[in-house]
Structure 1
Amino acid sequence: VQLGYGKNQVRFRATMTERTNSIAVDIACNKDETKRLLIDSAIPVAKGVTISDVNDLESAIKSVGFPLVFKPLDGNHGKGATINVKTAEAAAAAFDYAKQYSRKIIIERFITGYDFRILVIDNKMVAAALRVPAHVTGNGQLTVQQLIDKENEDPRRGYGHENVLTEITVDRDTLDLLEKKEYTLETVVPNGEVVYLKSTANLSTGGTSIDVTDLVHPQNVFISERISRVIGLDICGIDIMAPNLTHPLSENGGVVLEVNAAPGFRMHLAPSEGLPRNVAAPVIDMLYPPGKSARIPIIAVTGTNGKTTTTRLIAHIVKSNGTRVGYTTSDGIYVQNTMLMQGDTTGPVSTEFILRDPTVEFAVLETARGGILRAGLGFNRCDIGVVTNIQEDHLGIADIHNLDDLTRVKSVIIGAVKRDGWAVLNADNKYCIRIASNADCKVAYFSMDEKNPVIVEHCKKGGTAAIYENGYITIKKGDWKIRVDKVTHIPLTFGGSVEFMIQNVLAATLATFLYGYKTEDIRMSLETFIPSAAQTPGRMNIFKFKEFKVLVDFAHNPDGFNGIKAYLKTVEATEHVGVISGTGDRRDEDIKETARIAAQMFDRIIICQEKYLRGRSQQELIDLLLAGIHEVKPNMEIIINNNGDDCLRYLMATVKPDSF
């Protein structure tokens, strides 16, 4: 199990944590080694020896003396153990039984008393329990087997560790104990008689527990905490046999039987009698002491257009300032400069991938509509949520029929921003403005117009905004202006000619400024973020050839096409040639609208409908594109070539000099 995100994550399995020392676990699993260390530390233990050959059994019995306990050297959960062995015949059988679980067998003096378990976490005693072996109480009517079956009907009992108690099973240990009482499973137990069915009190064999935490003598607390340090375990269960824990072990003759790595918590969380103890809390306190955060900073980015570029630019600013950043985009998952997974990775699975990575110190997460609708966010809280814009796209899919529906989906990101975090919203988009009214966090706006009424009113109240004014990217706080950089110095804006890229820069600048980055550091990052197939694949990638230029962009909706149209107005060329395609899961009207815009900005158009059919036929998409183009330019020259490679070869062969 992982707790926490990125570099602040911790892991545990059962009751072993990443802090659990492997050497300490080896020592605890070796009962002989454990006993030696305890003896060397003047901690009372049961007298005993370890043998591996049955021929040594007789001398071991003479050395220790009856009654005896047999247990495997590296056993656990009471498996292979036999107690109160009083004869040579029983000793031989006990040896053979323990031999099934370990090559070496521990033979100890049987100590009379009660079986106690003390739990120590982070070298502090947190709970103690009296463990009672699995047993039934007779009523003078039912047999032993019937009493076991009745006891197993208790809803608290289940298989293995699935419930607070474990079902009682009949095994060799059970039959041996019954035989000593001259009972069988068919014996009717007298009324009120207690019949013990296991020689050990482990909950895993059907035992029960009684909380005695408040009764432990301070001297025994000291001994237990000292044992945890001697063995070196962060979480350990100490088994003690003693008349009680209210008196020091040195006075009542009690001894330490075992020290357990990965001890069970059930007996303390849900004892059969006494107060339940929240023993999980000290584990969390140990893994996350005061001052240590379980989280890493998260900036989530959503919107219709500009999500990927804004995400990449924010990630660039973060990593340029010395922080290892993980980010998800529509083209892949990245940590720093390395792509770890390719594809559209804007859903919760990709988010979890980043938050599981122990090297990530800061997460920037592109979060698309589809992932939110399918499975949510992948995180429950973020520091900053960015909504770039809300435009017509993906309408008619998954019950999203209009922009109001889409706004509700996108606002999920802002709903996840922590109370003292920030919502970064586009003041030029009325749907983004609506989101602000329901935001349960601080709000900041960005705008291409410093006279935007929303910006004016917001800053009049002392709010923070990012604006484009007099050719500068500017942070405005109340009446104060902090100019970050001139747009002509920012490569991503193409000399200030691409308006939607300026909007992306505003969003990224505002988000990182609000997080706490200095304006001079943001400026340096903006000037070193170069639009290219490497930095911004499929987003305004311009390739310069000897006689012409090629622009590759992932525009896939009317708003995106209008952004390209606005840019082309600034580009001088003998001819503007467009290669376009439709996307099958968009509405007919949206597909035709992109074609209308294409007809307005291109002199020639090539339709290459090779991919992205998404439930439609190839010809259906081509017909919609043709219909849109002919509405604007009925006589426009249109070539249809649905093979991408052939299409590019044709384009290269027919392009005029100085074309774009």
Structure 2
Amino acid sequence: MKIENIQVLRGPNIWSVSRKKLIQMRLNLEDMEDRPTNTIEGFYDRLEKLMPSLYTHRCSPGVEGGFFQRVIAGTWMGHVIEHIALEIQSLAGMETGFGRTRETKTKGVYNVVFTYLEEKVGIFAAESAVAIADAVINGEDYDLDRDIQKMREIRENTRLGPSTGSIVEEAIARDIPWIRLNNQSLVQLGYGKNQVRFRATMTEKTSSIAVDIASNKDETKRLLLEQAIPVAKGITISSLEGVDEAIRKVGFPLVFKPLDGNHGRGISINIRTREDAVAAYEFAAKISRRVIVERFITGYDFRVLVIDNKMVAAALRDPAHVKGDGVSTIQQLIDKENTDPRRGYGHENVLTLISIDRDTLDLLEKKGYTLETVPKKGEKVFVKSTANLSTGGTSVDVTDHVHPQNIFICERISKIIGLDICGIDIMAENLTEPLTENGGVVLEVNAAPGFRMHIAPSEGLPRNVAGHVIDMLYPPGKSARIPIISITGTNGKTTTTRLIAHIVKNNGHRVGFTTSDGVYVQN
């Protein structure tokens, strides 16, 4: 078999009006044109063993197992490849279901058509499906898990992240057109003078000065302190000599974090000895030349989200952890936790798989544990020092429990820093009491905060925070589109177009029009 061409279809097409994301593969079956599946000895058994989940494909019989019935009765290889391409995408976490296989006017050459969610994954699935079919035909072993993992990696590298994706989905729900401007997270909503651009959760309204301030944790803390916002005591150092100064001025226990860090990278907490402090400084210095050293505050980690100077969501974040059962080792407990269907690779699910890194090993070492330690039944063992969801943490929605004074403080912080979309990290026993009464402090302010903990919390009510972003970018009365008048006919199209353009222009609008005379904007 030979792939002659793979074409990506975007938008309404000859196969479907409603399914706008299709791969069309031109496949030459060559000698397989004369060998339907029922003539290939052992083909059905090998296919079922390799991909038993194909049983769910109903195919033309309309019942589970329908596709396998077709294979047993005899069907052509293009049809089989269509189903394989759909199933391997579903196994990689991208549910797809529509497919068509039709012979062209050239004997043995077929158009194999199937849906995709991510373009590059769809292309890979087409090539992989042919390779899988070849292996099954020839009775060869095939590493299906390798291809599924590869598709997950392609998806994570190319798809919109959960925050960007949630804003795009909200725009689609409101019939606002969108275009992806690069292969990262730069997106345009709307057209012409009504267009708005954003990247992740930074919009064209986001002040670059505000982003600079938020990126500099020392500057942020100074500004907040001047405005009577409670912050953690600390200093900034840039050398090993500064470690001793930090110990003397701030006192144990300490937290070390890079001045310009994000996503919890380079952070060490609850440092209680000079030896650990030196190691923590060196760890943070890999991320940023300057390192913040703060007093370690006990309590719970909260994230408050403020959009357009209004608090819209709050979440309690818990670092990645396992609970002992008195029998399993910490490694076994992590492996078991990673089998939770809510956990997935990267951002594919509500939760992220827990990985083992230096932070994990350091935390365990401080408790005198290793990965082979068996914790007591019910014992909670933290395997990450920060509560970021990207490192396996969990979140609980607490939006409805935030004290009005804390709401006021958070909305003030967004104005002080100047961010239109602002994530505020708070360490406190709770948010139901004012921070000024329970000793809570603001740890840092984040530009481009992640939305995943709010749109898909582990527990509690999901919050449509993307809706608040669209409300800010497109307040009531603001259009996202440019009105277009189309004129068709045999004679007089140009004259009619010019007359309409003249009328619209005299009503105060800026007009662009095209006729056989040329393209005009205003005059």
TM-score band, normalised by shorter chain: 0.5 to 0.7
Q: Which amino acid aligns with 2:477?
A: G
| Counterpart amino acid of residue 122 in structure 1 | D
CA–CA separation in structure 1 for the residues paired with 2:375 and 2:510: 69
- Going from structure 1 to structure 2, the CA distance change for 1:103 and 1:291 (only over 3 Å counts) comes to same
Distance 1:96 1:275 in 2: 40
Partner of 2:9: none
Distance apart, 1:154 and its partner CA: 2.7
Deviations 1:425-445 (A, max 9, x none): xxxxxxxxxxxxxxxxxxxxx
> Shift in Å at residue 139 of structure 1?
2.5
Name the residue aligned to 1:657.
Answer: none
Letter in 1 for 2:227: S
Amino acid at match of 2:439: G
Note the C-alpha offset of 1:107: 0.1
* 1:104 matched to 2:297: no
Q: Tell me which residue corresponds to 1:69.
A: 255
Secondary structure of 1:27's counterpart equals helix
Opposite residue 215 of structure 1, the aligned amino acid is: H
Deviations 1:23-75 (A, max 9, x none): 00100000000000000001100000001111121011100000000000010
SS at match of 2:316: strand
The answer for the alignment partner of 1:174 in structure 2 is: 360
Per-residue CA deviations over 1:460-502 (Å, capped at 9, x if unaligned) read xxxxxxxxxxxxxxxxxxxxxxxxxxxxxxxxxxxxxxxxxxx
Aligned to 2:203: 17
Secondary structure at 1:126 match in 2:
strand
Q: Select which of 388, 395, 399 maps to 1:213.
A: 399
How do residues 545-584 of structure 1 correspond to structure 2 at under 5 angstroms? none
> 1:332 and 1:135 mapped to 2: Cα distance?
66
Which residue, 316, 322, 330 being the options, matches 1:136? 322
Q: Which residue of 2 aligns with 1:165?
A: 351
Whole-angstrom CA distance in 2 between matches of 1:189 and 1:310: 82
Aligned counterpart in structure 2 of residue 246 of structure 1, from 419, 429, 432 = 432
1:146, CA displacement in angstroms? 2.6
2:273 maps to 1:87 = yes
Amino acid in the other structure paired with 1:13: R
Quote the offset at 1:137 in angstroms. 1.7
Alpha-carbon offset, residue 309 of structure 1: 6.4
Letter in 2 for 1:300: S
Alpha-carbon shift at residue 281 of structure 1 (Å)? 1.3
1:259 match: 445
Amino acid at match of 2:284: A
Aligned length: 337
Match of 2:413 among 184, 202, 227: 227
**Quick one: distance in 2 between partners of 1:140 and 1:8?**
61
Distance 1:148 1:326, change over 3 A: farther
Alpha-carbon separation, structure 2, partners of 1:304 and 1:144? 78
CA distance in 2 between partners of 1:129 and 1:305 (Å):
64
Q: 1:304 to 1:241 in 2, by over 3 A?
A: farther
Query: Quick check: 2:350–2:458 contact (8 Å CA) kept in 1?
Result: no
Q: How far is 1:295 from its partner?
A: 2.6
Q: Is the 8 A contact 2:352 2:393 kept in 1?
A: yes
CA RMSD of aligned residues (A): 2.1
Q: Which amino acid aligns with 1:299?
A: I
- Specify the alignment match of 2:383 in structure 1: 197
Partners of 1:264 and 1:333 in 2: CA distance: 44
1:188 to 1:169, Cα distance in 2 relative to 1, 3 A: same
Q: What residue in structure 2 maps to residue 35 of structure 1?
A: 221
Distance in 1, matches of 2:360 and 2:487, equals 62
Change (3 A) 1:304 1:91: farther
Contact 2:232 2:297 in 1 (8 A): yes
What is the DSSP-based 3-state SS (H/G/I as helix, E as strand, rest coil) of the residue aligned with 2:444? strand
Shift of 1:221: 0.7
Number of the residue aligned with 2:232: 46
Note the C-alpha offset of 1:168: 1.4
Match of 1:301 among 487, 506, 511: 487
1:604 is matched with none
Deviation at 1:190, TM superposition (A): 3.2
Deviation of 1:302 after TM superposition, in Å, equals: 4.1
Q: For residues 159-206 of structure 1, give each alpha carbon's deviation from its aligned partner in whole angstroms, at most 9, with x where no partner exists.
A: 333433222111111110111122222333333222111111111111
Higher RCO (CA < 8 A, seq sep 6+): 2
Q: CA deviation at 1:329?
A: 6.3
Per-residue CA deviations over 1:276-310 (Å, capped at 9, x if unaligned) read 11111111111122232223322133456766665
Where does residue 629 of structure 1 map in the other structure? none
Choose from 264, 268, 277 the match for 1:78: 264
- Pairing 1:188–2:393 present: no
Cα deviation 1:202-226 (Å, max 9, x = unaligned): 1111111011111111111110010
TM-score (norm 1): 0.49
Q: Return the offset for 1:112.
A: 0.4
Residues 200, 332 of structure 1: alpha-carbon distance in 2 compared, 3 angstrom cutoff = farther
Change (3 A) 1:153 1:322: same
1:421 counterpart residue number: none
Distance 1:283 1:188, change over 3 A: same
Q: Percent identity?
A: 80
Partner of 1:275: 461
Structure 2 CA distance for partners of 1:140 and 1:311, relative to 1, 3 Å: farther
**Helix, strand or coil: the match of 1:120?**
strand
CA distance in 1, matches of 2:208, 2:373: 47
Structure 2 equivalent of residue 350 of structure 1: none
CA drift of 1:19 comes to 0.8
CA distance in 2, matches of 1:115, 1:54: 29
When residues 236 and 176 of structure 1 are mapped into structure 2, their CA distance, relative to the original with a 3 A threshold, is same
SS state at 2:374 partner: coil
**How do 1:239-638 and structure 2 match up within 5 A?**
239-303=425-489, 310-311=496-497, 314-315=500-501, 317-319=503-505, 323-327=509-513, 335-336=521-522
Q: Which runs of 5+ in 2 are unaligned?
A: 1-186
Q: Distance in 2 between matches of 1:60 and 1:53?
A: 11
Structure 1 range deviating more: 99-108 or 180-189: 180-189
Q: Match of 1:92, SS?
A: helix
CA deviation string 1:69-121 (max 9, x = no partner): 00000101110000000000000000000001001000000000000111111
| Letter of the structure 2 residue corresponding to residue 151 of structure 1 | E
Q: Which amino acid aligns with 2:392?
A: G
Q: TM-score, normalised to structure 2's length?
A: 0.61
Aligned pair in 2 of structure 1 residues 293, 62: CA closer, same or farther (>3 Å)?
same
Aligned-partner SS, 2:341: coil
Q: Distance in 2 between matches of 1:169 and 1:329?
A: 61
- Could you list the per-position Cα deviations for residues 329-356 of structure 1 after superposition, in whole angstroms to 9, with x for gaps in the alignment? 689866446xxxxxxxxxxxxxxxxxxx
CA deviation vs aligned residue, 1:234-284 (integer Å, no higher than 9, x gap): 110100000111111111100000000111111111111111111111111
Instruction: Supply the distance in 1 between the matched residues of 2:262 and 2:490 (Cα, whole angstroms).
Output: 58
Q: Which amino acid aligns with 2:433?
A: H
Alpha-carbon spacing, 1:304–1:73, altered in 2? closer, same or farther (3 Å): farther
Closer, same or farther in 2 for the Cα pair 1:270/1:310, shift >3 Å? Answer: same
2:200 maps to a residue whose letter is: A
| Whole-Å separation in 2 of the counterparts to 1:87 and 1:311 | 80
- Secondary structure in structure 2 of the residue aligned to 1:298: coil
Retained in 1: the 8 A contact 2:305–2:423?
yes
Partners of 1:333 and 1:192 in 2: CA distance: 73
Q: 1:300 to 1:143 in 2, by over 3 A?
A: farther
- For 1:252, give the aligned amino acid: N
Q: 1:94 to 1:318 in 2, by over 3 A?
A: same
Which structure 1 residue ranges, 5 or more long, are not aligned? 338-660
